[in-house]
Amino acid sequence: MRPEYLFYLLVFPGLLFTGTLGLVVGCVDRKVSARFQFRVGPPFLQNFNDFFKLLGKETIITKEAVASLFISAPFIAFSMIVLVSAMIGTAMFFGVSFGGDVIVVMYLLMLYSVMVILGGACTGNVYSSIGAGREIKLLLADELAFILVLLVPIVKSGYVLSLDGILAAQQDGLFIGSASGIIAFIVGILCIQAKMTLTPFDIPEAETEIVDGPFMEYSGPPLAFWKLSHLMMWVTFPFLLILLFWGGFNLSGLGILWAILKYLLIVVVMIIIKNTNPRVRIDTALNFFWKYATPLALIALILAVLGA
């Protein structure tokens, strides 16, 4: 193991960077959402306060829970998100791949859902069980389209699998500039909306219906880490899309401004979708992804194979 991996993992673009940016973007989300609802919204550093305050709260473990699993689930999910962020970020900022390629990233991301289900359902709470069932159904709904979306840049780059290789293949033309790229990119945004369980796909959590589902029995530090990993996804997923389709970031001169704009554009689109749609039922979500999003992504893949 080379020492710079530790830097990638712990400082930039891993834990410290992604965590901080996630908390900041979470605040942006709360502010913008508040504006949509004609509220003022919380102060800018509210997410930081929430996180550190939760660390000081007591952890309630239900008597029926499998305590070890219940406690380790959020930390495993958190470690996975940090790891994936570091892998994506390193490819993007340093042009170096370590640990794994696109397929590895895709499978690592599934671990998050697994942990949500194991951690939530081991409490024996009925709402958590319902939420766990929905979580995995939602994964099935978006995964098919997500696989297709990930295959488009692989095909377009001439079957390169590594993250930095896909980035390098966009030197002579961004994938988003092609017909297949833009379709896949749009479907990709919908997929990550579902992967992050944001409205209209917040079906597993559904606060008003099943009281945060799998997270219902969580409190204190474990809850803090669930929240943090969820906020870090605001960084991980948009970065993944930018890397695969939008040529990453060029951090020199005006490039920095352009990079921030790219990122904010995706985030704002997601926030807008989140605030203008009601929560759908799980069968509606399945129908939407399997009958509309997937064929669309398949068209993108066909176009990519044909070279468009």
Length of the chain: 308
Q: Give the three-state DSSP class for 197.
A: coil
Q: Judge residue 48's burial from the number of C-beta atoms within 10 Å of its C-beta, 0-12 exposed, 13-18 middle, 19 or more buried.
A: middle
Q: At a CB cut-off of 8 Å and minimum separation 6, what does 67 contact?
A: 61
The smaller minimum CB distance to another protein, of residues 124 and 173, is found at 124
Q: Smallest distance from the beta carbon of 47 to another protein, in angstroms? A: 17
d(CA 232, CA 253): 27
Torsion over CA: 18, 20, 21, 25 (sign): positive
Q: Smallest distance from the beta carbon of 177 to another protein, in angstroms? A: 21
The smaller minimum CB distance to another protein, of residues 34 and 211, is found at 211
**Tokens representing residue 73 in the block:** 């689930």
Q: Smallest distance from the beta carbon of 190 to another protein, in angstroms? A: 17
The smaller minimum CB distance to another protein, of residues 46 and 72, is found at 72
In whole angstroms, how far apart are CA 33 and each of 99, 195, 268, 271?
Answer: 36, 19, 10, 7
Q: How many CB atoms lie within 10 A of CB 302?
A: 13
d(CA 103, CA 163): 10
Q: Smallest distance from the beta carbon of 155 to another protein, in angstroms? A: 7
The smaller minimum CB distance to another protein, of residues 29 and 101, is found at 101
The smaller minimum CB distance to another protein, of residues 32 and 286, is found at 286
The smaller minimum CB distance to another protein, of residues 91 and 267, is found at 91
Identity of residue 189: I
Contact of 265 with 241, CB cutoff 8 Å: no
d(CA 299, CA 244): 18
Q: Smallest distance from the beta carbon of 41 to another protein, in angstroms? A: 28
Q: Smallest distance from the beta carbon of 235 to another protein, in angstroms? A: 15
The smaller minimum CB distance to another protein, of residues 31 and 137, is found at 137
Contact of 33 with 239, CB cutoff 8 Å: no
Q: How many CB atoms lie within 10 A of CB 193?
A: 21
Q: Smallest distance from the beta carbon of 85 to another protein, in angstroms? A: 10
